Amino acid sequence: LVAAVAAAAVFFIFGIVTVEMPLREVIGKIAVQVVPGSLGASLARAQLGPSLLEEEDIPEPGYTGELFLMVVGALFLSVNIAPTEEVVLIAYKMHPWQEIALVVVTLALMHAFVYEFEFRGSHSPEPGAGFVSIFFRYAIVGYVLVMLVNLYILWTFGRTDGAGFSETLSAVVVLSFPGALGAAVARLIL
């Protein structure tokens, strides 16, 4: 509700929606902004809101919960970037080897943010879990989820219309870089 009211107010102030527009168009524009707005409100509340529990009293989410947090983080960043022309332009200019390098760097950063860097909220690996197990269960699976989320977002904004498989995959890989960072950071913040 807060996101919808904020989006409506900002759109009206900037003239993006007017009283002359059809109601369906106004609702559509606001609906697109409700997702990132509500995610932003949740993240702000998690970081800035009052904490009723001490940090050590907060239970660690399970595997499914961790994956859900990754999807939320990917949505938060990707939905704001996907409508821009830069995603398609960067994807067009990249060579396939650069795209492969971007995937490798993205996976490394996803893993490092959560398990290697000592940020507040960093996760400790399960006892007995090796690097390969953690990397495949979290970084690889998380990256696949980020890619699926980004494919859906690009489709929603019409960025896949008329594009072939190669062009669509390139755009998904480019958008998955910020999406994956959002996924990793969301696991730390939430």
Domain-by-domain residue ranges, the chain?
1-58, 61-190
Number of residues that make up the chain? 190
Q: Residue 127: what pLDDT?
A: 62
For residue 109, what are its two tokens?
Answer: 């950063």
Q: How confident is the model at residue 167 (pLDDT cuts 50, 70, 90)?
A: very high
- Residue 15, Ramachandran bin (φ over 0: left; ψ between -120 and 50: alpha; else beta): left
At 60-99, the pLDDT tens digits run 667 788 888 888 888 888 888 888 888 889 999 999 999 9
CA distance 3 to 132: 40
pLDDT for the residue 116: 61
Determine which of 49-53, 62-66, 102-106, 179-183 has the lowest per-residue pLDDT on average: 49-53
Average pLDDT over residues 138-160: 91
Stretch among 78-82, 104-108, 154-158 having the lowest mean pLDDT: 78-82
Mean pLDDT, the chain, whole residue set: 81
User: How large is the C-alpha radius of gyration of the chain?
Assistant: 18
Model confidence at 124, in pLDDT bands (50, 70, 90)?
A: low
- Whether the pLDDT of residue 166 is over 70: the answer is yes
pLDDT at 149 over 90: yes
Q: To which residue do tokens 């993205």 refer?
A: 106
Other Cβ atoms less than 10 A from the Cβ of 45: the count is 12
